Every structure is written in C-alpha cells, then in structure tokens.
Structure 1
Amino acid sequence: MSPEPSPTLALPPDWVIAAIALATGLSVALVAWLLSRAAAAVPRQDRLWLDAPPPGYRLVWWPVQWAAHYLRTLLPERPTQTILGQLRLAGLDYALDPAQFVAGCLVWALICAAIGAWLADTFGLAPGMPLLAGIALGCIFPRVWLRDRILARRRQTFKALPFMLDLITLCVESGLNLNSAFAQAVAKGPVGPLRDEFARLMRDVRAGRARSEALRELAARLDMPAVSNFVTTLIQAEATGMSLGPILRAQAEQRRTERFAQAEKLAMQAPVKLLFPLLFFIFPCVFAILMFPIAMKFMGAGL
C-alpha cells in the first residue's frame, strides 16, 4: 500500500504578494515622510551666546534637540523650575534647558535599552531584565552625574572663596573700586567655578544690571551659606556707606576659619570611614599572611 502524499501549502497568487509588498513599501515611505516632516519642523537653536553642551549630550545632540522641541510644551511648570534650579547650581543653565535635559535622559534610556537587548540576544538571555536595566541606567545616570557636578562645584567654591576674598580685599584696600576689584579677582584668581561665576557677575554689571541685583543672582546660582553671607554683608555695607576693606577682610578670615573647621571635621570622620575596609579587607589579608607559615609548618609536621 503506497503512502499518501503529504499535502502541500498553496502559495498565494502573485498579485497578492505584489500587493503586500506594495503596502509594506508605502507604509515604510509614509513613516519616513512623517519622521522627516517632524524633524524639519524643529527650529535650529541659535547657540551663539550659549555654552557648549556636556560631552554626553553632544554625542546625541540632534535627537536630544528634536525630542526637546516636542517635550517643551508637555513638561509641567513645577518640575521644569526644579530642573532649571539644578542646572543653575551645576553651572549648566547656559548649556541646557530643562526640556533638553529630560530629552537627553530619554534618548540615553533608549540607547542603553537597545544595547541591553543586543547583549541579551548575543548571550542568549531573556531580554526583559537587560532591557529594563538599560532604561534605568539611561534615566538615572544623567541625574546622578548632575548631582555629583553640583557637589563638586560646591567643594571647589568653598575651597577657593577665601583666596578670592583676599584678592578683592587687597584690591579694595589699594584704592580700586569694587568693580575693578572683581575684575582683578577674575583675572588673577584660581581657575574654577567661583571665578566663572564672578566673571558672569561682571558681565551682568556691564550689561546694565544693578550690582546688588547681580550679587543676589550670584548667591542664588551658588546657593551656599558662605556666599549668601558674603553677598548680604557686602550689599548692607554699600547701602550704609561703610568702609569695605575691614568688612571684606573679616569675611575672608571667617571663610578661612570655616574651611579649616570643615577640614578638621573630615579628618575626624576618616577613622570611622576606614573601619569597614579595615575589618573586612585589610585585617583578613594580614591574618592570612601571618597564619600561612604556621599552617604550613603544622601540615609539614603531620599534625
């Protein structure tokens, strides 16, 4: 008895295949046209008077700018002001706006998610966890980087403030006015965020803003008690007509005392911070090195 022939699948007619291919091509062309129209609707940003964006944003600047154009009207007012305050504290308010920062987080989340999915496919893993890990990394890392930048700027400002005040005091006591003293401090002061902020203060004053208002903006951008105290004292001294030399010298001495107190505090915290690595990393290694010869002698003696 001969075996029955296996049934064969009937192929669709040629016109059906051609219609499917034509529909697919038209869909791809329509999506490409819509994306091109959306990209063409994004205006080119004039960055003549703006700072360069950070390196991580510069690598993906075109998609960041494209996404920021459509996110700018969707962001609520309160989160926008919060992000703008953080960018101002980090010294990036002339490099990024809140919409661009959020767009950068989204773009890097998509890039990291794509990398996680590719790694999962390469090593034969389930794509769920690598995909979620990539999205979390892309969203969280820019915020962590922004927070670390703010803390680093505050440390550098706190360290350079006494020296800058000494320069300003020396210039004022030698006969220069306060604007010239600020200009000399910017020219001769140490490189860092404090000198950049004083340079921005001088630009605001030259642009016609009142010096007291520019000083308050300086204190708001840095958001440090030491700078706020200095600005408040300086504005009150100018309003009352007091001599600026002794006041600036007292401010410099107070800031230097605070710096030494902070250094002593960190020095006293060092033994406590070293306790964990001593107990779990250094002491076990030392005990292993000391006990190794004794253990070898016991093993050689047959005990």
Structure 2
Amino acid sequence: MTPLSHSTLIFLLALAIGLSVALIGWLLGRSVAEVPTENRDYKDAPPLAFRLAWWPIQWISYYLALLGIAPSDDKSWLRMRRAGLDYMLTPSQFLAGCLLCMSVTAVLFCWLLYALMQARVGSAPLSTVAYGEAALSGMVFGWVMLRFWLHDRIALRQREILKSLPFFLDIVTLCVEAGLNLQGALSQSVDKGPPGAFRDECQRVLRDVRAGKARAEALRAMAERLREPGITSFVTSVIQAESMGMNLGPVLRAQADQRRTERFQRAEKKALEAPVKLLLPLIVFIFPCTFIVLFFPIAMQFLHAGS
C-alpha cells in the first residue's frame, strides 16, 4: 500500500471536520424544529432580558420538560405567582433562563480572565484549572443573580401593593356607595387607579370573572397569589358581606381605613429603624475619617517634637 500524501491527509481531515460541523448543525436544526410553538395569546409579555433570549430559553425549557427536570410543583408556581410572572413564564422557562444566564456569565468570566492576563506584560499563560475556576465562579454568579432578581421582584411587588392598596380601596368604596356593584367598582378602580402591581391583580380578577370564574373564587385566588394579610382580610370581609347580604360600603370603608393605618405604621416603623441602620456606615466609613482628620495634626506635632 502506498502511503497517503500530505495534501490528501489534509483534505480528508477537512472533509471529516466539515461533515462533523454539518451533522451538528443538522442535529441542532432538527432539535429546534421539534420545539412546538407556544400559544401566548392569553399570556403577558415576559421581562425584557427573557424576551431578548426567548428562543434558546424556549428550546432549553422544552427539553428540560422532556427529561423530567423542569420544576412543576406548587411551590415553584407559587413563587412565580407572587412575583407576577405566572402569566409570563413557566417554572421550566425560568429554570432555562437561569441555565442560560449561568452559561453566559461563565463565558464572560473566562473572557475577563483572559483579557486581564493579556493586559499584564510578561505573564505566564493560565492553566485549564484557572479557566475552570473562573467558569465555575461565573456559573454561581449567574445562578445567584437571577435568584436575587426574583426575590427582589417579589419584595418590590409586595411593597408596591401595600402602598397602593388604600387608594384602590377608596375608589372601590366610592363607586359602591355611588350605586355600582363590586365588579363595576373594581373595573372603575382599574380604569382610574395608578398603574402598578395591585392594578394588574385587579385586572386579572376581572379577566377571570369574564372568563367564567365566580367572583368569590377569583378574589380568593388573588389572596392566595399575594399571600398578604391585608389582602386576605379584604377578600374575606367582602365575601362574607356578600354572602350575608350586607351593605358593602361600610365594610369597604372600614377596610380602607385599616389599610391606611397599617401603611402609616409601616412608614413610622421604617423611620424609627433608620438611625439603627445608619450605625454601620457611620462606624465603618465616617468615624475613621473623622479620627484621621482630628489626630493626624496631633501625631505630626509629636513626631516633629521628638525629632
């Protein structure tokens, strides 16, 4: 047998690489084509970062569901409801977003490490272990970043709801006392109230009622989503008053007054907590600078006197 020439080996190697790339591209195209199109006619738009990377998120979430890895328990859905994302994202799509964020931050950390090493003149090339540690750190950072984002969204949404609740209850009370029923009063509060999380929740209650759900059931679903004592008390009072045939006006006015008092008490509590929270930056940042300014001239005088 005659040995193959150098050019023939290069051609066969290039052919094998080309066929491998074509096979990988075909497999990726087939896997993307198998992902069904999601019907989002009844859903809200997802957050901006998820919209920018929607196709890979949808692809990853589909195969996570096929493998049985996607979370579908009540706790995951409750967390999405409390964040106001249950009509935007599923738990599997949020997990896919976490995995994609981990991959992007891992690549970004490795690139930053490479750029820093290139900026240092005469530095030795890094080993694979260093890049692995950078990638692991980036993955942890990406995972924690999205988890903190979800936690902050839940906390911000709760604060916004508690802040706007008395105003919406005042509008509902005025509309009920003017002769409207509760559904009409909620519709007026959605039309006239300021935009925010509680307005979205009231709009969702109206949407559920128009879809055929009972009004009491829609209100209970809102209380279960929000898990706030003020919302639960309001929903319970309204449902009991309607079931007993009571006038809703005094009940709603009492609820509005109570929520306003609670909002004032929360503001007063935060005002009293402010001096305590200021102690740490005062001790760590301000006191050392004050001591340096005061004692530096004294120390210099002692040094000059000793010389």
TM-score scaled by structure 1? 0.90
2:224 paired residue among 220, 226, 230: 220
Change (3 A) 1:211 1:92: same
Q: Per-residue deviation at 1:143? A: 1.3
1:199 pairs with 2:203: yes
Change (3 A) 1:127 1:78: closer
1:153 paired residue among 154, 157, 176: 157
1:238 paired residue among 231, 235, 242: 242
Q: SS at 1:127's partner residue? A: helix
Q: Percent identity?
A: 53
Q: Output the CA distance in 2 between the equivalents of 1:191 and 1:292.
A: 55
2:99 paired residue among 98, 106, 118: 106
Name the structure 2 match of 1:183. 187
Q: Output the CA distance in 2 between the equivalents of 1:173 and 1:141.
A: 47
Q: Which moved more, 1:292-301 or 1:256-265?
A: 292-301
Name the structure 2 match of 1:274. 278
Name the structure 2 match of 1:132. 136
2:14 paired residue among 18, 21, 36: 21
RMSD (Å) for aligned C-alpha atoms? 2.1
Q: Which moved more, 1:242-251 or 1:285-294?
A: 285-294
Give, as a single letter, the amino acid of the residue that structure 2 aligns with 1:158. L
Partners of 2:176 and 2:248 within 8 A in 1: yes
Counting only pairs closer than 5 Å after superposition, residues 58-77 of structure 1 correspond to structure 2 as 58-75=51-68
1:48 paired residue among 33, 38, 41: 41
Partners of 1:72 and 1:99 within 8 A in 2: yes
Count of paired positions: 294
Q: Output the CA distance in 1 between the equivalents of 2:25 and 2:71.
A: 35
Give, as a single letter, the amino acid of the residue that structure 2 aligns with 1:172. V
Q: Output the CA distance in 2 between the equivalents of 1:77 and 1:117.
A: 28
Q: Output the CA distance in 2 between the equivalents of 1:250 and 1:226.
A: 12
Change (3 A) 1:197 1:135: same
* 1:69-96 deviation per Cα after TM superposition (whole angstroms, max 9, x unaligned): 1112334586543222111111111111
Give, as a single letter, the amino acid of the residue that structure 1 aligns with 2:26. W
1:92 pairs with 2:85: yes
Give, as a single letter, the amino acid of the residue that structure 1 aligns with 2:198. L
Q: Output the CA distance in 2 between the equivalents of 1:136 and 1:177.
A: 52
Q: Per-residue deviation at 1:28? A: 1.4
Give, as a single letter, the amino acid of the residue that structure 2 aligns with 1:83. S
Q: Per-residue deviation at 1:14? A: 3.9
2:174 paired residue among 146, 164, 170: 170
* 1:146-185 deviation per Cα after TM superposition (whole angstroms, max 9, x unaligned): 1100000000111111111111111111222111111111
Change (3 A) 1:38 1:78: closer
Q: Output the CA distance in 2 between the equivalents of 1:237 and 1:73.
A: 47
Q: Output the CA distance in 2 between the equivalents of 1:54 and 1:77.
A: 20
Give, as a single letter, the amino acid of the residue that structure 1 aligns with 2:101. W
Give, as a single letter, the amino acid of the residue that structure 1 aligns with 2:242. E
Q: Which moved more, 1:142-151 or 1:72-81?
A: 72-81
Give, as a single letter, the amino acid of the residue that structure 2 aligns with 1:28. V
Q: Which runs of 5+ in 2 are unaligned?
A: 118-125
Q: Per-residue deviation at 1:297? A: 5.2
Give, as a single letter, the amino acid of the residue that structure 2 aligns with 1:185. S
1:143 pairs with 2:147: yes
Change (3 A) 1:152 1:179: same
Give, as a single letter, the amino acid of the residue that structure 2 aligns with 1:63. P
Give, as a single letter, the amino acid of the residue that structure 2 aligns with 1:72. A
TM-score scaled by structure 2? 0.88
Q: SS at 1:187's partner residue? A: helix
Q: Per-residue deviation at 1:18? A: 2.8
Q: Output the CA distance in 1 between the equivalents of 2:82 and 2:67.
A: 24
Give, as a single letter, the amino acid of the residue that structure 2 aligns with 1:200. R
Instruction: Give the number of the structure whose alpha-carbon radius of gyration is greater.
Output: 1
Q: Output the CA distance in 2 between the equivalents of 1:123 and 1:58.
A: 32
Name the structure 1 match of 2:121. none
Q: Output the CA distance in 1 between the equivalents of 2:79 and 2:66.
A: 20
